[in-house]
Amino acid sequence: MSISDQLIRLLNLLADGQFHSGTELASVLDVSRSAVWKHLHALDGLGIELVGVSGKGYKLQRPIQLLDRQQISGRLESRAKALISELEIYPAIASTNGYLMQLAQRSQATGRVCLAEYQTAGKGRRGRTWVSPFGHNIYLSILWRYQNGPGAIAGLSLALGVAVARALSRAGVQEVGLKWPNDIYWRERKLAGILIEVSGESGGPCHAVIGLGLNLYLPEQQAETIEQAWVDLRHIMGDDVMQQRNRLVALLLNEMLPVIADFEEQTLRAFIGDWRKWDCMRGKAVSIYIGEQAFTGIVRGIDEQGLLLLEDEQGKQRAFASGEVSFRAT
């Protein structure tokens, strides 16, 4: 889906959350009133909620903050800034992960960061679609190259879960939890997800694209297709969080980039202790699905390799390297 420069200009005018008359918007944009109406109608299709009042004009249901390269860069710490070769922001893209995976195939780029206001085909785990309304959340991907093959970055998703938990804690979010292997939770509801796609030689150079989707505000209409319990930062912290998107992106990059860059040397061992501190599954009854098979039991944490430990009704523990985990009512 193409998003015109005029539509972005219109959003910048409306971003303050105040009423703006159709005449004012037409004058600033140098278009007709009917063109303004068409643009406003297009916003509705992007999941942006509008309020129209006769005699007052139009405003956003909630103010938004569009992503801004300068605002993000100005908040980056020196280490993170040095690790970024290029930071790109797109009004709309099929998938930030998909874009960087394609880029990795045709170049030797590394340290590339891609953000989008809107994804038409956002990627979740196991082929799911990540719900991606315009301007409400954070859709972030990072491309990085490694020298020693995919095996050398086993456990990277767990380490990045720690990085995201640290960033959210610095932003003032309390009760952050990590759900194995790559979800960030709040009170047993999903707040963010990590998706890592790796390609390359088994024992040689490879590249990884690390994607993060973080819910700031999910309108109910757009969230209807989500099949699991979810939460957004607006619910946790209030409407003000919508004005902190650029700050949050910078906090995430400050924590994630050093972990990504140093992981081959540090390995998962450096993050096991912190992961266990944020573990929201330990002691909980869960079901683990692997294909058509289901395993039930009580989570006993993770081992030193990051495998999930599940204790069944007979008291026997089993370690899992992968699987889909769901909480069970007890």
Residue list, annotated binding site for biotin: 95-97, 119, 190
The answer for 245, left when phi > 0, alpha when psi is -120 to 50, beta otherwise, is alpha
For this structure, is 69 an active site residue? no
First to last CA, the chain: 45
Can you tell me the distance from the alpha carbon of 131 to that of 213, in angstroms, rounded to the nearest whole number? 9
Strands of 83-242 (E only): list them.
86-90, 112-116, 138-146, 176-179, 183-186, 189-200, 206-214
According to DSSP H, which parts of 243-304 are helical? 245-266, 272-278
Query: What residue numbers does the annotated binding site cover?
Result: 95-97, 119, 190
172: helix, strand or coil: coil
Those residues with Cβ within 8 angstroms of residue 232's Cβ, 6 or more apart along the chain or in another chain: 137, 191, 215, 216, 217, 218
Of 69, 187, 276, 328, the catalytic one is 328
Instruction: State the residue for tokens 């219109």.
Output: 10
For this structure, is 125 an active site residue? yes
Do residues 257 and 269 make contact, with C-beta atoms less than 8 angstroms apart?
no
Of 75, 125, 128, 247, the catalytic one is 125
Of 112, 166, 179, 190, the catalytic one is 190
Phi, psi (degrees; rounded to nearest 5) at 185: -120, 160
- b vs e for 123-137, b when ≥16 Cβ sit within 10 Å of the residue's Cβ? beeeeeebbbbbbbb
According to DSSP H, which parts of 2-120 are helical? 5-14, 22-29, 33-45, 69-74, 78-83, 96-106
For this structure, is 81 an active site residue? no
Q: Tokens representing 83?
A: 């690790």
| Residues labelled as active-site residues | 125, 190, 328
